[in-house]
Structure 1
Amino acid sequence: MPNLHTVRKGLDLPILGAPDALVDGHLRASVYAVRPSDFRGLVPKLAVKEGDRVLAGDVLFTDKVDPRIRITSPVSGEVARVERGEKRKILAVVVLADSQQEYRKFTSGTPANREDAINWLLESGAWSLVESRPYGRIANPDAEPKAVFINGMATEPLAVAPAVALAGREEDFAMGLQVVGLLSKRTVLSIAASETAPALTKASGVELHQFKGPHPAGTTSVHINQVSPLNKGEVVWTLNYQDVIILGHLARTGNFKLERVLALSGTGIAKPRAITAVAGASLEAFLNAELKSGNYRVISGSVLTGTKVSKAGYLTYYASQLTAIPEGEGTDFFGWVLPSFAKWSVSRTLFSWLTPSKKFDLNTKQHGEDRAFVVTGLYEKVFPFDILPMPLLKAMWAKDLEKMEQLGAYEVVPEDFALCEVVCPSKQELQKLAEEALDLLYTEMN
């Protein structure tokens, strides 16, 4: 029997706009872009120039620190331009896609051993899917992880259920598990206690753990914290179940196809549903057809941890959601004083607690400006780690590296503070604070 873990602290946002439980359509685009900013800590070195022809799987740029880490093109076509910012910083490599896709052929089949598996993943660019903890960066191929954690859950708001994304891709997932199993002596697969997909519940070659409870029960950090907490000097590698499918497809066909099942969700979408999409796709033409009229914020990712993109922007590299919610406009006179059933509140300030099953059309309003960073006890109600969030965040604020280590900084990534941001009465950008602090910690410790 798999181990069962119950997460009691957390919060499921009651937000409207969930996708239908069927894959219906594909996000088609003629232009794709890969942005170095999607890869935490990576310093890009260009491998192409404008006008070059590339196949899907050809290298666009490498990491200056470790050139073995390659970021490859998701599509075949012509490099249309290299977008740059201040001091010629590389912002994006834009590829004009062919109508018929061609792939760089890599070796198919499961590698023979760990060394071959790592070299194969590095050569194809698929190593970009392997994340390391601590710090939440692309893994160091020379490290020896004590375990590899595969996240087979999706508890973020408006996400696609794993069973939906896995349908028809079971063979690729099984082959991907074989590849991942070569990377460490211990492979942990985390699934929901209510999961019914046989590809997950009957997966072979893995240590199966079940989780139940509100979000963030489905996040990798919670799984690591519950199953094998990180100590200083220890490393684990992590992947998402959809990334395992991509690895399996690479092993089966020799094609590195960066296609995922995407939750097209939120009240700004005319028809919320699941679709397939290739990483880096241009969103402009697609959103012109799918987005309702009005002022909506488009988010590549979830409402909690995603990246705001323009309607002429691109899907981010790791995204498995594309969300559109209303922009919060104007102010409400005495908004928190007047009783209302139409607004949602974490506390009992408003009457939403009387209708716990009701969903709301949540928007981007912050409902207040930055305030003093004070102790309230609210973070602890949604932060299910054996860590004190407020002291850790204050250590991050002060850039006290020694205190950060003592308080558990190695066990968290910025996304773990998303719910703390939701309930924060001080309106602080806690994920940004955590990212900057962890970047500093990484720089000082490496």
Structure 2
Amino acid sequence: MPKVFKIRKGLNIPLKGEAEKVFTRAELAEFYAVKPTDFPGLTPKLSVAEGDKVKVGTPLFYDKYRTSIYFTSPVSGVVHLIRRGERRKILEVVVKTDNSQDFEEFGRSNPKELSREQVVERMLKAGLWPTLRQRPYSIIANPEDKPKAIHISGFDTSPLSPDLDFAVKDEGEAFQAGIDALNQLAEGNVNLNLNADYPPSSVYTKVKGVKFNYFSGPHPAGNVGVQIHHVAPINKGDLIWVVNPLDVIIIGRLFLRGIYDATKVIALAGSEVQKPRYFIVKTGASIANIIADNVTKNPEELRFISGNVLTGAKIEPDGFLGFYDNMVTVIPEGNYYEFLGWAQPGFKKYSFTSAFLSSLLPGRKYTLDTNLHGGERAYVVTGQYEKVLPMDIYPVHLIKAILAKDIDKMENLGIYEVAEEDFALCEYVCTSKTNVQEIIREGLDLMIKELG
């Protein structure tokens, strides 16, 4: 029997707007984008110019310092726009799709019959290598490395998260092919981490070539970093790779069909969505199609998020789905001031510390907005971080070490084990309104700069 790890610390935020388990195949969007900003540590170099014609799988840009890592187009069409920011930083490469959907051919093969080098080469050429991220640092894995293990979190516990058992439905063959490919890459096990609180999908339970681990408890029990911490904590010098289960399916399609098919199931959720449900889309799709006539308010009054409310990125109503994101969340914008909000009974407000009378109404779900209800201030010793971070580290001490740029203390306090998403709940409950995830990313970037 696989071991069940019981996560006791954490928090499930009771938001309204969970997606109904109904599949809707979205119409092919007019525009798609691949965003270099989705990949921490990446310095992109363009392979195309505006006006160039591309196929599905044609390289759009590559990593300046690891030139074999390509980022390819999810659709065929024409490069419509290369959007830049300050100092000409590349923000998005936007492709206007056509109706032909011509594919670059990479050849069908059985990954079990290929060498590791051949699997790596196939994934690099198709632009699928960025689906693999390494711990420590939470950056794109190095093709030359051999990890001691690969971890896949088969469930998501973030607010309004998609049901990944539902999302992988009927994809058993592709998932198995993806697992076979991953087994060629790792020195150790491919770990499939599942939710012990309900029976997993047969796509997961019937797969071969994995080690099963089960987890039970509140968010962040579904975070792969928390799972790794409990299965086999990362020490200095260790290397673990992680991958999303929907990306495992896309990897499997590459070997089964010989093409880059970026189709996946995402959830459109949130209190301001009229019909929250699941959509079949391609990676990088514009969300304009799926939110059209499906939100409750004027778009200027809403926050559109690629990802979940804790770790996702704000996008425009015609913005694009992030490379690693499996959901789009729509909540009210919090651009207002509230007089003596802390002194009100708060029947319609949710508080982790039970500061409002709403704590007397268990089981209720809430419409929460983006208002911080206060400003950044000095740290107050409350012990709140420790209540929501189920890892054996001292979160406040680690954050202070990062702010002080003390490399030795950062190492001793567990910087190798964490990523931004692991501290998302700390940021949510923070009395001091500190941008905790941003600090963690700065710390990880500092470690890369100083230690390589």
Aligned counterparts, 1:56-75, within 5 A: 56-75=56-75
Which position in structure 1 is the counterpart of 2:137? 135
Amino acid aligned to 2:379: F
In the superposition, the TM-score normalised over structure 2's length comes to 0.96
How far, CA to CA, are the matches of 1:157 and 1:348 in structure 2?
19
Amino acid aligned to 2:378: A
Amino acid aligned to 1:117: V
Summarize deviations over 1:377-398 as a string: whole Å, max 9, x none. 0000000001111100111111
Farther-moved stretch of structure 1 (148-157 vs 276-285):
276-285
Aligned counterparts, 1:32-51, within 5 A: 32-51=32-51
What SS class does the counterpart of residue 243 from structure 2 fall into?
strand
Residue 120 of structure 1: CA displacement? 1.3
Equivalent residue for 2:202, pick from 198, 203, 221: 198
How far, CA to CA, are the matches of 1:15 and 1:151 in structure 2?
22
What SS class does the counterpart of residue 191 from structure 2 fall into?
strand
Residue 27 of structure 1: CA displacement? 5.4
Which position in structure 2 is the counterpart of 1:161? 163
Amino acid aligned to 1:95: V
Amino acid aligned to 1:5: F
Aligned counterparts, 1:102-181, within 5 A: 102-111=102-111, 112-181=114-183
Summarize deviations over 1:47-87 as a string: whole Å, max 9, x none. 11111111110100000000011100111011112122222
What SS class does the counterpart of residue 292 from structure 2 fall into?
helix
Which position in structure 2 is the counterpart of 1:336? 342
Residue 355 of structure 1: CA displacement? 2.0
Q: Is the 8 A contact 2:194 2:200 kept in 1?
A: no
4+ long deviations beyond 4 Å = none
Residue 124 of structure 1: CA displacement? 1.1
How far, CA to CA, are the matches of 1:157 and 1:351 in structure 2?
22
Which position in structure 2 is the counterpart of 1:309? 315
Residue 195 of structure 1: CA displacement? 3.2
Q: Identity over aligned residues, as a percent?
A: 43
1:367 equivalenced with 2:373 (yes/no): yes
**Runs of at least 5 residues in structure 2 that lack an aligned partner in the other structure:** none
Which position in structure 1 is the counterpart of 2:390? 384
Amino acid aligned to 2:294: E
How far, CA to CA, are the matches of 1:160 and 1:283 in structure 2?
16
Residue 280 of structure 1: CA displacement? 1.5
How far, CA to CA, are the matches of 1:179 and 1:269 in structure 2?
38
Which position in structure 2 is the counterpart of 1:188? 191
Amino acid aligned to 2:154: G
What SS class does the counterpart of residue 273 from structure 2 fall into?
coil
How far, CA to CA, are the matches of 2:86 and 2:369 in structure 1?
32
Which position in structure 1 is the counterpart of 2:258? 254
Which position in structure 1 is the counterpart of 2:80? 80
Residue 288 of structure 1: CA displacement? 3.0
How far, CA to CA, are the matches of 1:126 and 1:50 in structure 2?
23
How far, CA to CA, are the matches of 2:324 and 2:379 in structure 1?
32
Which position in structure 2 is the counterpart of 1:325? 331
What SS class does the counterpart of residue 229 from structure 1 fall into?
coil
1:394 equivalenced with 2:400 (yes/no): yes
What SS class does the counterpart of residue 21 from structure 1 fall into?
strand
Amino acid aligned to 2:177: M
What SS class does the counterpart of residue 233 from structure 1 fall into?
coil
Residue 402 of structure 1: CA displacement? 1.2
Residue 307 of structure 1: CA displacement? 0.2
What SS class does the counterpart of residue 32 from structure 1 fall into?
strand
Summarize deviations over 1:417-443 as a string: whole Å, max 9, x none. 100011000001111111111111111
What SS class does the counterpart of residue 188 from structure 1 fall into?
strand
Amino acid aligned to 1:189: L
Residue 341 of structure 1: CA displacement? 1.9
Summarize deviations over 1:82-107 as a string: whole Å, max 9, x none. 12222222121111101121111112
Which position in structure 2 is the counterpart of 1:13? 13
Aligned counterparts, 1:201-212, within 5 A: 201-212=205-216
How far, CA to CA, are the matches of 1:20 and 1:171 in structure 2?
25
How far, CA to CA, are the matches of 2:153 and 2:110 in structure 1?
21
In the superposition, the TM-score normalised over structure 1's length comes to 0.98
- Please, what is the CA RMSD of the aligned residues? 1.2
What SS class does the counterpart of residue 336 from structure 1 fall into?
helix
Which position in structure 1 is the counterpart of 2:90? 90
